[in-house]
A and B are shown apart, each in its own frame.
Chain A
């Protein structure tokens, strides 16, 4: 009982002020999360992680996600971070592409050919992202914040977040910059503020009930750029990783509890 109370208090402490009153959004979120098939994607991802593929006929089991080769526990919650072997900051999807080319011997083009799947046939990236993120449940979000390149990625991400461009002169902040805005039954969290970024970043990647698809964080960023009518960013590019770094760093300290379930 005490534990339940403590959890409830903790949850309250991290919930944006708007959601503290009886929020229809919270109810809706709770109801959609019941019966989420996220675990099926985790199972699919585990299979792919161990499957021998590519010219080297190797699995990804020796892939170093930052905690050492093959270590999955807590790895997602510590990304994005700087990787010495490639001298750049990477997030989960970018690092997976790297492992597919180095360990499995696949070409970068082939590995990145189908990063977004559909309901009938989810992509490798989506399955793997579900499986790996799930191994960080209960771990505090703590991306790399010490290496100069990590700091630079954060700065670039922050700038991109507020940078207005494109046919509509939009920035991320055009939608995610003001309190109490929503699109239909989805709240628009002010992602530059920790209290809003925390619950969001703690539950991505996520399963979307409206189209029965599992979505990666790279997809989320890509789709925001599509909605802003900007040129399509490259999957795993410096810009999208920087954006992910900015959002994750803003949410740092929150306990990861995904993969989540969204509308």
Chain B
């Protein structure tokens, strides 16, 4: 699928649902920008993609001065820039939106002052197609898959850099900011970048001012975006030499991850990937740590436009298709070592799976 095909998929959904107009908003707080997914434009203000059957698609962006980049990114779309999104919709549909034939996506996620006005214009009877549109737009485009490869390469270089610059006494967030800037230099335009450290971690978290100590286990979930496409690697490093116990347990978690990755191919349920991971860990006596509160999922979709195909979790019945991209990460809590991160981004190919990272997670050590 290419981005034009994505617009066609959205139009097909409208036809199936019997709607003539669909207003699509981003859901930035949850890191799902459906407007970006449809148009290639990620806003600095609120935006709406307006799809009308039989008419050229229209992108309305705010503020007014954002017109130049919107025009450059949203190829094939008419672009209007305004400081007043509801007014723009009112003007566009001066005779009102077609009753019973209007749908919305993510309107409830817009800031309240705008969303309320738009809601009044659209009316309560408009269909909400948030989930349906995300499903219809699920496959990645060829460009996005290539961008995920580039983002993965940036993440791997970022981790290598972390091993070079991490030092005892350095604040977690100072290290995190330096690495964020380094990944920007390599071409990243955003980063869902979690990094935390302690002697016994219970979770990976946004970094804090805590200072690194000898024996700390650093958890790094590096998720740069390249041209808006996320990719993620999950890594673990210890400040100083690892114990034999830690090395042994980390090897177990990597084995579990590899079992999950080997399972990936078109036609299987996502649940099978999670189950393959759990089997390896359960066989070693960790079955109780394979469910909440210790673990909720074994990976997730990657994108900025969409989290499809969803979580790598036993309850996810989604059938894997060619060109899906997601991360497989056991990210397991073990009582002996605490939480350990390992994860690789994967691409579902016609016959199996492509691991997008060059090097599989290993227990790294920072000299102290």
Instruction: State yes or no: do A and B come from one complex.
Output: no
